Structure 1
Amino acid sequence: MRLELDTVLQSTDFLVPENPNRSNSVLNGDSSGILTWNDIAKELVYKRYKEALGNFWTPFEINLGSDVKQYKDLSEEDRERFRKVNALVAILDSVQPVWFNLMGQYITDSSIQHLLTILSQQEVVHNHSYSYVLSTLEEYKNQNKAFEIARTDEVVYFRNKLIFDVYRDFKKHPTVRNFIRGMIASMLLEGINFYSAFAYFYNLARNQKLVATSTMIAYINRDEQLHTKVAADILNFILEDQPHLQDYAKEFALEFFPQVVDKEIEWSEYILKGEEDIDMFEMKRYIQYRANKVLSLLNMKEIYKGIESNPMPWIRAFDEENANLGKSDFFEQKSRQYTKVDEDNGFDEL
């Protein structure tokens, strides 16, 4: 079945017994709605499902006792920056579960639908993690302040407007065109829009501040990289089955990537200005480096030339240490018996 850009997607039904269990298309296909994991159309989906299960964690596992003491010693300016960074990531992880659930309503393949359910649950855990951190570190009167910032501070709220407008377009008009745009926007949110915040938390840790919080961020970082890959996988499945849509996907990506990158750079200059040991020129190049990495998932060439390696290698050091120790509190050296990151789901290999 050929899909055109203006083809309206049909939402899936709960159960269609006259259709086969194995879906014949990601979008507008035939499927009973019954998931049989040993008979799915895309084997990669099962691999991603296992990766997601292997990443399972909860914020309660991380002892923030040492961070409580250190947080009290931060200046009010530093605490306000901390609240604003938490506000940003809280916005992102409040929206993404809703987006995953919306996508799932229009995806015929049951295995992909169920994988998105797992990813949605992870995003809920991420959002809860920021509440957990704030409720542990902050005075009660300030605990909700960060989440109020998320909707009342124009710089914080509007820095994600580009992405959210694409999501809204798909919700209003669920066409193939808007689905493609939404998948690319999701890749950018997961693969770029968190990274100024991640850099902020990792920089605190390398200065021996709030290291337990940064351990939690490393877990979130790993999840978000998996989510970026899954969004790319879904889009690539569609483009493989419908190769005539590839030109539009590449055209939109080349148009949209620089817009989102510019917004991320603008945000990092706003929130990280004056932050100890963060060089803003390096931060700009790091965001561009991330964009090239995400773009490669769509088999597209880099758009930011001359950035072949990570210009902020100290960030990678946190990821690699966590990767080597598996799911452990790598600063406090407390063993946690979980699936280790390996060559298939490493931090720097999207």
Structure 2
Amino acid sequence: MVLAAYFANWSIYSKNYLPDQLPLDVLTHVIYAFFKPNAKTGSVELSDPWSDVEIKLPSNQLGCINEFHRLQELPENNFKLLLSVGGYTYSPDLTAIFTDSTKRHTFVESIVALVCKYKFDGVDVDWEYPESKKHGDIYVTLLKELRSGLDSINPELQLSVAAPAGKHVLENMNLPAMDRYLSFWNVMTYDFAGGWSPKVAYSSNLYGEYPSGQSVIEYYTRYVRRNKINLGISLYKLTFPNAYKLRGKFSGTPVQTALSLSNNTTGLYDSEYGCAYDIGQDVFECFDNAESIKNKAIYCRKVGLLGAFFWDGSADLRGRDSLIRRFNEELKLK
């Protein structure tokens, strides 16, 4: 099975979160976010050279990428390190590149060179999102070309995508054709609610009408084998201001807060929806807690998924309260 976590290279700043703080002894994959695509040339670059390869860390390694390689050598760890390119901020640049065959060729060559230079074990593409069926066809072409490029240096290199939950996006994508070139899918089964929501709603519930973790996964399994799918789990709390109940009204802008920076991370478990919540003074909060994580792990095992991934590691609770560790404890992966 897979138990993966994204590491955001900016987390070394406001959260002072370094690579060795991830629960690496239970992870199978660390997905390093994000490399920056250059829309003008098609090449891919370090998005933060200081964080990536320059800052001197307590271990005397220079940069987070080198630190992860040091940590890979420790006997208690056995994880792969994947290069993730794109993300929400850089996705318009990906669109500009993928829709231009010349730039796309440069993109693939650049990715392959970066994988070699920084000794990554694979690549994760996070394009948010293909906006038309033409984009969907282009995505297939990109993955075919990228898979070929990776195979040219090492067929064992892995290739994944951060995959959407919204039906309006999924309808643009040719999932079976994409699947031919992918090692696995990281399905973003979260961000179901936010500032766009008309009423208070859960942002990462497992059960319930579409979108929910279960309903999104069921959509994917029409086209993709279950054992190639990872369930996405967010490590943040969504707070609705001036709100008092699920499906009630709210006023103001919902706020995301990392669980590691939140006061109350216990809450109440809603077994109908598979999500935790808390009602405070004029706020409604939803998030994952120990019980909801346990049930998501049970769900993954029951339906035969490949595993799960977490966005992002720096937002996890520390020590024994780590939700990543709790997920692992339920599945006994390591």
More strand by share: 2
Quick check: which has more Rg, 1 or 2? Answer: 1
Confirm or deny a common fold (TM above 0.5). no
Q: TM-score range by the shorter chain?
A: under 0.3
Structure with the bigger RCO (C-alpha within 8 Å, sep 6+) is 1
More helix by share: 1
- Name the TM-score, length of structure 1 as normaliser: 0.26
- Name the TM-score, length of structure 2 as normaliser: 0.27
